[in-house]
Structure 1
Amino acid sequence: MPPPAPPASVRGRKVLAEATSAYSKIRVQQRGTRRTLGFVRERGDEFVQTIVDLKDPDAPAHGYAEAMAAPFMVVDDPRELLVIGLGGGTLIRFFHSRAPAAHIDAVEIDPEVVRLAAEWFGVVPGPRLRVFTDDGVRFIAGEGDSYDIIWLDAYLDPGAPGTDNAGVPEELRGLGFLRRVKARLRPGGVAAFNIHHLTGYHEHVNAIAEVFPRVYVVRRPGSNEWIILALEQDTELDAEALRRRAAALDAPGTWGISFAALAEVTTPWQRSPT
């Protein structure tokens, strides 16, 4: 995957690009070597969706991306990966570089986001990456490949029609959609949901738990975004087995994160009242 386009560094803050689509107003800007893609709300504040440090663009510069690697502790040698929600492609670059045997499909509803991700973040299709400009709900409902891991990371302008307070499209919370996600997983597969801890969080995770036989939460200290792991099969994640898998992933030193730390904060979801 090519490196992001210049400049490699800027003085102060510089807006590199802005675009308005049918879904959002999108802004790409940079401070020093850190480049971001964010959605600008009507009141003028910005919801940052992507952070990339151009000194190492394949490494996660946003804490949630590290936790989104947790499914690799659950699925042995995943080869077919699907990411719903592209943004600036943080997860795509991370997984593309760390899982060299895997093929990745990325789905993004907003063509302007797809364009900006290619132009400013180097996220372009290649032998191991396909990018689909499509509605994630429609893509999941269609007939196509099944996947070892599916990530649900779709965000639009928070407060826009059809989204919750964090910008998650409401359709992605529905039981029908969640059942279709489960149906697109291979046996033993995992779906990972990036859910901001705002209004509706417990209802969302409870809905996931209605569909998937085992649900776990990865709670990174100090983060408002908790990653939900939904298992296709009714297989309990033994804490000691998780530690062993984490140690095996950490041993080569190629991921640049601590799976051991992720294993320690991965716990079963306890269904709670809404």
Structure 2
Amino acid sequence: MSDVRTNPAAKWCLWVLAAIVLLTASQPAAAQEMTPYGKLEHDVTSDFSHIRIRRREDYRSMMFVRDTQEEVVESMLDLAHPNRLVVPYTQFMFLSYAFRPAQERVLIVGLGGGSMVHFLKKFDPELKVDVVEIDPAVVDIARRFFGVTTAGNVKIITADAFKYLAGETPKYDVIYMDAFLKPSEETDSTGKPLNLNTVQFYRDLQSHLTKDGVVVFNLNNHRGLREDLATMREAFPNVYPFVLPENTGLVVVASTAAAPQSPADMLKQARQLDARPNGTFSFEQLARRLARGR
């Protein structure tokens, strides 16, 4: 085998290969027939986001496209098993059940591809699920490509969550906060709207909860993560952060219960959840990622 350091032809081949890789990476993803997430099925720019839908075999993904053409996974669905939560953070969102095992009505802020809706329909079929999504394009995509629409116990509401929650709403046992937009002056660096990240908003949220209700937040890693946690702790009596795999962020359960729940009681509830039918992951395993003192 020739040594690249001394073989001019080998050096030239490596240079050409590197140039091809850089050129491909610099091209808009829409110009690439395939990416690791599969073939492009749909591309749309709405008033709120640039969205692409890709499919690889039985997996369909909703991608948010940044100005750099970088694609960020917003949602992923196993078409053969829609109730199976593929993206890890979505599993952590349902640690709400370790704090509120019996739920009658919940609100999801941010529809995406609706994977959380699919899970709840199977895991807790009697549950009433309201979903608020600001972007009509996302609502249309969720219906066309992910099979999520208003039907049965599920109600999709196309509205600004801030305005929706400023009005008269039902009382919810759990509110799931999973709303992200294209990063701008009105969002943090991860795309989380700034008006949904204040002490006053969090206190207003509590007026929409039943007694001892909880709010669950999906927080991506960014420089202001500690400040986000501090804001939640100022607004809620009890806050429980769970570290996502590979330290990609946190899922935070914020409880309005006056008394804190001990880690031992939480694990006990998680084991009972693992015994319920239609589960697709271990609640106990996730609960053990509680970040004490963070």
- Would you say same fold, with TM above 0.5? yes
Q: Which has the larger radius of gyration?
A: 2
Return closer, same or farther for 1:253/1:100 CA change in 2, 3 Å cut-off. Answer: closer
Matches of 2:134 and 2:59, distance apart in 1: 25
TM superposition shift of 1:125: 0.6
The CA RMSD measured in Å over matched residues stands at 1.6
The alignment status of 1:183 with 2:207, answered yes or no, reads yes
Matches of 1:252 and 1:88, distance apart in 2: 25
The residue aligned with 1:7 is none
Matches of 1:223 and 1:106, distance apart in 2: 28
Counterpart of 1:54 (choices 64, 79, 85) is 79
TM superposition shift of 1:27: 0.8
Cα deviation per residue 1:2-38 (whole Å; 9 max; x = unaligned)? xxxxxxxxx9821111111111111111112211111
Runs of 4+ in 1 over 6 A off after TM superposition: none
The residue aligned with 1:233 is 257
The residue aligned with 1:174 is 198
Residue pairs, 1:190-269, within 5 angstroms: 190-268=214-292
Asked if structure 1 preserves the Cα contact closer than 8 Å seen for 2:122 and 2:278, the reply is no
Counterpart of 1:144 (choices 142, 159, 169) is 169
User: Structure 1: any 5+ residue segments left out of the alignment?
Assistant: 1-10
TM-score (norm 2): 0.84
Return closer, same or farther for 1:269/1:178 CA change in 2, 3 Å cut-off. Answer: farther
Cα deviation per residue 1:54-87 (whole Å; 9 max; x = unaligned)? 1211110100011011001111310111000011
Identity of aligned residues (%): 30
The residue aligned with 2:180 is 155
Residue pairs, 1:78-157, within 5 angstroms: 78-157=103-182
The alignment status of 1:33 with 2:58, answered yes or no, reads yes
TM-score (norm 1): 0.90
TM superposition shift of 1:253: 4.5
Residue correspondences, number: 259
TM superposition shift of 1:265: 1.6
User: Structure 2: any 5+ residue segments left out of the alignment?
Assistant: 1-35
Q: Secondary structure at the match of 1:87?
A: coil
Cα deviation per residue 1:128-185 (whole Å; 9 max; x = unaligned)? 000000001111111110100000000111x233111111111111222111111111
Q: Secondary structure at the match of 2:181?
A: coil
Asked if structure 1 preserves the Cα contact closer than 8 Å seen for 2:107 and 2:129, the reply is yes
